[in-house]
Amino acid sequence: MTTRTPHFRPELTAEVFNGRSRGHLPGLLGVEIVRISAEAVESRLPEGASGFTTVELKANFVLWPR
């Protein structure tokens, strides 16, 4: 299933995202954005890289009754 985002901004190209990632986690890991469209984002890691892992960030908020 493909979903088109209503907030797609064509001026935010792969080059823009690659420039922003320098010095941050995606850039440090060698992630390169290859192509961006309203339907998908295509990326890759450096040639010769092996393995795959994911990172999950989760926050739970508990509200106590007063």
Q: What is the pLDDT of residue 52?
A: 74
Q: What is the pLDDT of residue 5?
A: 67
Q: How confident is the model at residue 9 (pLDDT cuts 50, 70, 90)?
A: very high
pLDDT digits (tens, 9 = 90+) for 29-63: 899 999 999 889 999 988 888 877 788 889 999 88
Three state DSSP letters for 3-63 = CCCCCCCCCCCHHHHHHHHCCCHHHHHCCEEEEECCCCEEEECCCCCCCCCCCCCCCCCCC
pTM above 0.85, yes or no: no
